[in-house]
Structure 1
Amino acid sequence: MMPSVFHFVSIILFIDLVSSGRVLWKAKERARAIRQQTAKQHVLAHAVRGRIEQQLDHFSARNTETFSQRFFVNEAFWDRPDGPVFLYIEGEGPLSEYSVLAGHHVVMAEAHGALLVALEHRFYGSSIHPGGTETQNLQHLSSVQALSDLAVFHQYVHQKYDLSRRNTWISFGGSYAGALSAWLRGKFPHLIYGAVASSAPVRAELDFSAYNKVVGRSLMDERVGGSERCLNIVREAFRAVEAVLRGGNTTKVGVDFVCCDPPTSPEDQVELMQSLADMFMGSVQYNEEGVALTIAHLCSFMTNQDSAGGQGEEPYSRLVKLAELYRTLEREVCLDVSHKHTIHSLNSTSDGISGYRQWFYQTCTEFGFYQTCEDTSCPFSCMLTLQTQTQLCPLLFGISQDALPTNIAFTNQYYGGDEPHSQRVLYVNGDIDPWIQLSVVQNGSSVDGAIVIPGTAHCADMNPTRPGDRLALHQARKEIERHVAIWLKSAAWENMV
């Protein structure tokens, strides 16, 4: 029986996990499933689902191909005919009806009499062109095309519901979709009056070594149950695993961590280290927001303060037991560390709904976001290099590693990086979330609003209020509500002129 500290105490209502590790990606899918199952027990309203035909390529008059894109609408709170429109933007995963039925933006929609609409991202979920995940067709998957999809969807909703200029549009999104929310306001200011961008990585970064630097900092943050001792023990544990591997005893490591196959090749050893690191990265990124293992629980376990850790055990043994707990939670008989299986999973074009392959393609063409561990501040294994991650781009998609810096530079030039010049965009971040490093965290001449929430994690503000939420999180939601109310009042005055 699992220790009680690993019980799921809360559910993530909105989760986008921009990561390339298989373990983290599985955690994302599991959280989505739990989220939806729990939401069913608390939501009585129903959303209307629909589909819209979109151009496959918005920028080519010669390409007349289209694809069917899914959306949801909730009219329950709408104050017809002039009530505002709240647009929820989905990111790198399937869109759920709960995008218009639950969450902080839904609470605000009820308060302001807003029409709720949500659009699924092209090439994810069920909005995939036939054969869309084939390499030759992925060229039409980009944030630029996705923003054009949203503009067309705006026009569709405008016509379907006979809207006018008095219907003020506010967009919402978290993580990658949070960046899309900010970019939509920047590129289509005549359509979107204001935007909330939660945990939005608006600056593309090839070598995102800062991610694991923040993970290490958060693991020693006493506000959330971390400690310097915890961080040091995590470091020692990974060094110990590396030492055994360097000694050539891959059989011992394979047996200790119950790997499906011994990590004999260097590539498999990197997969093992990535999987072990992912367990910590996931706990930090979604601390207190639905993960089974919070920072407090994890550090208690790793420092032998929890009975499950085993008194007097070495860091290596504690990491072994942590992997055992992970397998129990995921109901996995063994830990799959096969690099060949990773390649097979990323090459699969039959499982498009998970989005794993599509997102990795976008990291190669637009964003990077590779969470490396070559910096001395990283608490994990130095085997997690930029080379080991970017070499998949040419292998999977024929995209040269040399092209990646240019791709990422274009993204930052096109959108403005973390120095945007878009008005009425509110950036919201938790200060223990590693993605804060790529977002906007300070108010300035080109930034209307930036909120940093002490002690909170990725997209925490997007969930509805729950018992046990930190005071800072309550205050941040009030501040978001204040900004949205000011925008709507300002728009109303403008429409009277």
Structure 2
Amino acid sequence: MPALWKLFLPLLCVSLAKASDVFDFLRPTIFPKVSNDKSLVEEWYFTQKVDHFNILDDRTWSQRFFLSNTTYNASTPVLLVLGGEWQIEPGHVNNGFIAELAERFGAFVIYLEHRFYGQSKPVPDLSLENLAFLTMDQAMEDTAFFAQSTKIQMGLDGPWILIGASYTGDMAAWARARYPHVFHAAYASGAPVLAKAGYEEYFEVVNTALLIENASCPSVIEAAMNELQILIENGLADNITTLFNLAERIDLANLNDLTFFRFQISAIFATLVQIARPGSNGIICDTLLSGQDNPLDTYSGLLRLLMQGNPLNVNTTKIVEKYRDQVEFSETSYTRQWIYHCCNEFGWFNPLSSPNQPFGQQVPLDFMLKFCSSVYGPEFTPERLEAGTARTNLLYGGKNPQASRIIYTVGTLDPVNPVQMDQDINPESPVIFIEGMSHCVDVTDASKPNDPQSLIDARQRIFNIFESWL
């Protein structure tokens, strides 16, 4: 167990000291924890419009960004790295493959924080009225207006290249397509380009990743879930509460609480596969298999370890109240903002409904979508989300975008890959599949001597493509 914790602690990037539910746990940055040497960057703020689409609204706000402290050389590339649903940190661009790209091409690096996250607050609070300004359209306009203005003000006249990972991989690709006169190229790592209310395939990929490590690995999880079902059927709430270190005694007669409990204990585990680095899935399976004679004890012990002693809250009434009533910005949790965005434009919820995974099939999509209406109001219906995802796919093309000079990277063991690009659309927008890799490892992590050949080859291909485009 200690080896597992030592491996994953730098990757989780969450404030586990305050994690109390699955949303706190699942909203990490996609970057591993690294040195945040602020001497390597300068912190600046840029004046943005609150509403880019209302000429009568003259309100402004300050968007934070980091600049390389290097001297810009005329006509060299500018790498505009897009922050997402996290607070930007200098280490995200001082380290990892982004730093290697900058060194290779002598590029000037800018790291732009996303509206509503970190220190970039366009409105005073998170009231529903103010959350209306958290849209892809507004964020894209932020990006283009920033680039256009900064290019002129600072004389950054070289080609601008967008870099994004996960959701901001979408932003990078879509901004390149929408503003080709502003951005020369884009690199979209692990981008979920297809907006979709939910996709059960997420947990199927988790299953595949574990099967590759050991054919018996998922069966330990399945056995644990079967053992848990027996405890539920026998009404042994105290045993379950103790095993999973729940914040309060679980009410097994409350179907909402029980369903949410099932989702939490599955999704937290699945996160380990989503953030996996080379070798880490093997350690997960070794841990499970070493305790396969007592599968539920082993599985629950692993989750307690990951929660670092923090009790898990499965009371759906309290969870809904927590995020429904939150008005003030939080320095540690961005759940209210992010789920609002998903309930409006993206979806990307992960139901437990497929038979091709070991966690059970007792968390339907309609249960997950109820969170939208419970937290944000009755108008946040499945039909509204369906219209929102349809609009997103119409605007940006889903898995069939028509754009040039965009590199997409997809890890074959990334649980998010069912909504990522699955084939090359044209030679000018290649999709690089990285065998055995999970979510965004190619862009976030630094190159290491023992990297898998698939990752080495992918990065070399990225270098080669950018050289041809520059």
Question: Under a length normalisation based on structure 2, what TM-score does the superposition of the two structures give?
Answer: 0.91
Q: Of 276, 283, 292, which aligns to 1:297?
A: 283
In structure 2, which of residues 234, 249, 255 is the aligned counterpart of residue 247 of structure 1? 234
Partner of 1:404: 385
Q: Distance in 1 between matches of 2:302 and 2:372?
A: 31
Provide Cα deviations, 1:187-215, integer angstroms capped at 9, x if missing partner. 00111111000000010111211111111
Report the equivalent of 1:92: 85
Shift of 1:470: 1.3
State which of 415, 432, 454 in structure 2 corresponds to 1:434: 415
Residue number in structure 1 paired with 2:365: 386
Aligned-partner residue type, residue 381 of structure 1: G
- Matching of residue 61 in structure 1 with residue 61 in structure 2: no
Shift of 1:351: 3.9
CA distance in 2, matches of 1:59, 1:103: 36
The one of 335, 338, 357 aligned to 1:356 = 335
Mapped to 1, the partners of 2:111 and 2:306 lie a distance apart of: 33
Residue 47 of structure 1 contacts residue 100 of structure 1 at CA under 8 Å; is this kept in 2?
Answer: no
Contact 1:72 1:100 in 2 (8 A): no
Per-residue deviation, residues 78-129 of structure 1 (Å, max 9, x unmatched): 3x12211111011111111234322212211122121111111111111113
Q: CA deviation at 1:471?
A: 1.7
Aligned amino acid, residue 478 of structure 1? Q
For 1:83 and 1:341, the matched residues in 2 are separated by 52
SS at match of 1:39: coil
Show CA shifts across 1:14-40 (max 9, x none): 99xxxxx943642654986x71xx324
Could you tell me how far apart the structure 2 residues matched to 1:349 and 1:47 are? 32
Counterpart residue type for residue 70 of structure 1: R
Of the three residues 76, 81, 85, the one matched with 1:83 is: 76
Look up the match of 1:73: 67
What is the aligned partner in structure 2 of residue 39 from structure 1?
35
The answer to whether residue 167 in structure 2 is matched with residue 171 in structure 1 is no
Name the SS for the 1:220 alignment partner. helix
Checking the alignment, whether the CA contact within 8 Å between 1:428 and 1:452 is kept in structure 2 is: yes
In structure 2, C-alpha distance between the alignment counterparts of 1:74 and 1:199, rounded to whole Å: 25
Is the 1:88–1:173 Cα contact (8 Å) retained in structure 2? yes
- TM-aligned CA deviation for residue 336 of structure 1: 2.4
| Alpha-carbon spacing, 1:54–1:337, altered in 2? closer, same or farther (3 Å) | same
Q: Which moved more, 1:400-409 or 1:316-325?
A: 316-325
User: 1:77–1:109: 8 Å Cα contact kept in structure 2?
Assistant: no
- Could you say which residue in structure 2 is the equivalent of 1:346? 323
Name the counterpart of 2:309: 331
- Specify the SS of the correspondent of 1:228: coil
Q: What is the number of equivalent residue pairs in this alignment?
A: 459
* Partner Cα separation in structure 1 for residue 162 and residue 30 of structure 2: 24
Retained in 2: the 8 A contact 1:196–1:425? yes
Aligned residue runs from structure 1 range 307-318, under 5 A:
309=291, 313-318=293-298
After TM superposition, the structure 1 stretch with the greater mean CA deviation from structure 2, 438-447 or 232-241, is 438-447
- In 2, Cα distance between the equivalents of 1:477 and 1:77? 26
Distance 1:175 1:89 in 2: 10
Q: Deviations over 1:394-442 (max 9, x none)?
A: 1211212321111111111111001100111110011100111111132
* 2:229 corresponds to 1:234: no
* Residue 454 of structure 2 corresponds to residue 460 of structure 1: no
Counterpart amino acid of residue 375 in structure 2 = L
Whole-Å Cα distance in 2 between the matches of residues 389 and 253 of structure 1?
A: 22
Aligned counterpart, 2:356? 377
- Deviation of 1:267 after TM superposition, in Å, equals 2.1
Which sections of structure 1, spanning at least 5 residues, go unmatched?
Answer: 16-20, 489-497
Q: How does 1:182-331 map to 2 (within 5 A)?
A: 182-221=173-212, 226-264=213-251, 265-288=254-277, 294-304=280-290, 309=291, 313-327=293-307, 330-331=308-309
Structure 2: which 5+ runs fail to align?
Answer: 15-19
For the 8 Å contact 1:426–1:448, the answer to whether it is kept is yes
Give the equivalent residue in structure 1 for 2:7.
8
User: Are the counterparts in 2 of residues 209 and 373 from structure 1 also a CA contact under 8 Å?
Assistant: yes
Q: Which moved more, 1:5-14 or 1:423-432?
A: 5-14
Displacement of 1:468 in angstroms is 2.8
Deviation of 1:368 after TM superposition, in Å, equals 0.5
Which string of whole-angstrom CA distances, capped at 9 and with x for unpartnered residues, describes residues 314-342 of structure 1? 32222222233224xx232x332222332
Kindly provide the amino acid, as one letter, of the partner of residue 460 in structure 2: K
Cα distance change, pair 65–287 in 1 and its aligned pair in 2 (3 A): same
SS of the counterpart of 1:8?
Answer: helix
* Residues 400 and 85 of structure 1: CA distance in aligned 2, closer, same or farther (over 3 Å): same
**Structure 1 residues 132, 189: CA separation in 2 closer, same or farther (over 3 Å shift)?**
farther
Whether the aligned pair in 2 keeps the contact of 1:373 and 1:381 (CA below 8 Å) is yes
Q: Which residue of 2 aligns with 1:140?
A: 133
The whole-number CA distance in structure 2 between the counterparts of 1:76 and 1:10 is 32
Question: Contact between 1:123 and 1:132, CA under 8 Å: does it hold in 2?
Answer: no
For 1:130 and 1:145, locate their aligned partners in 2 and report how far apart those are by CA, in whole Å.
13
- Does the Cα contact within 8 Å between 1:346 and 1:357 map onto a contact in 2? yes
1:131 aligns with: 124
Q: For 1:100 and 1:254, how far apart are their aligned partners in 2?
A: 42
The one-letter amino acid paired with 1:92 is: E
1:262-321 CA-to-partner distances (Å, cap 9, x unmatched) read 2102222223212211232111101127xxx932122112122xxxx3xx6232222222
Cα deviation code 1:145-170 (max 9, x no counterpart): 11100011112211221233xx1111
Q: Hey, what's the Cα distance between the residues in 2 that align with 1:161 and 1:351?
A: 32
Question: In 2 relative to 1, CA 13–475 (structure 1 residues): closer, same or farther, beyond 3 Å?
Answer: farther
Q: Indicate how the Cα distance of structure 1 residues 31 and 364 shifts in structure 2: closer, same or farther if over 3 A, else same.
A: closer
Cα gap change, 1:324 to 1:12, in 2 (>3 Å): closer
**Sequence identity of aligned pairs in percent?**
27
Look up the match of 1:482: 464
